[in-house]
Amino acid sequence: MSVVDSIRSQMVPIHREGYPFIAAFAVATLVLFAIWQPLGWIGLIATAWCTYFFRDPPRVTPIREGLVIAPADGTVSKVAHALPPKELGLGDTPLLRVSIFMSVFNCHVNRSPVRGTIEKIVYTPGKFLNADLDKASEDNERNGFVITASTGRIGMVQIAGLVARRIVCFTREGASVGAGERVGLIRFGSRVDVYLPSGTVPLVAEGQSATAGETVLADLAGGPGDLRTFVTG
């Protein structure tokens, strides 16, 4: 392996959605250096942060049928039963909802929590409240998915936050997706909710860190290999 290939293999890929922003930050940094060097250094730090924000690292996703995988990097902010958004058509009975809050320092590429078919995608305009608030599920701008899997219908909702102003969707209705496959991105801090079928037992707790495409949120298949047997207290 050449030195160039060796260096390249150690670099975290940057998602293409970030290129225009990184370029804008870089140009602004050059202008700031021309105006006053200390401002240029501030711009350089901001450019480095922007590059870091749009990182898109590879992930190794567990592939056993029935596993529900975290769709986002961040902190599990809520594990509780809640009514799913009406636009998803998941019924009017509270379902287990796992919410993952992403700070501006988390990777913001979102991934499918299960393998299945995208049954529905619904974009809903709204407010830009703090994404960590409960009412953000109903009031904030959001993009919802219903994914039909072999173990049932799963809801996933990208929610904009105080800083986030753009939700990007990478897939379409009718598309087949694999667990851990990239399906969207939210720019600059937000939250992703996952709604799970009735009776689901969570395998994560509030305050836990989640890694998109890797952390197991629940096991819908159960059986002898049920991961719940390894969870205590």
Tokens representing 67 are: 């596993």
Same domain, 130 and 195: yes
- In the set 99, 112, 137, 190, the catalytic residue is 190
Same domain, 125 and 226: yes
With respect to residue 59, please indicate whether it lies within any of the assigned structural domains.
Answer: no
Tens of pLDDT, residues 84-104: 999 999 999 999 999 999 988
Tens of pLDDT, residues 128-140: 776 666 767 777 8
Tens of pLDDT, residues 149-194: 999 999 999 998 776 668 989 999 999 999 999 999 988 768 999 9
Question: Among this protein's residues, is 190 annotated catalytic?
Answer: yes
pTM for the full predicted model: 0.85
CA distance linking residue 218 with residue 169, whole number of Å = 24
* Tokens 């979102």, located at residue: 110
Query: Total domain count for the chain?
Result: 2
Same domain, 42 and 125: no
With respect to residue 85, please indicate whether it lies within any of the assigned structural domains.
Answer: yes
Number of Cβ within 10 Å of residue 192's Cβ equals 29
Look up the CATH number of the domain holding residue 126. Answer: 2.70.70
Give the structural domain span for 23.
Answer: 3-53
Strand 176-177 relative to strand 167-169, pairing = unpaired
Q: Is residue 97 exposed (0-12), middle (13-18) or buried (19+ Cβ within 10 Å)? A: buried
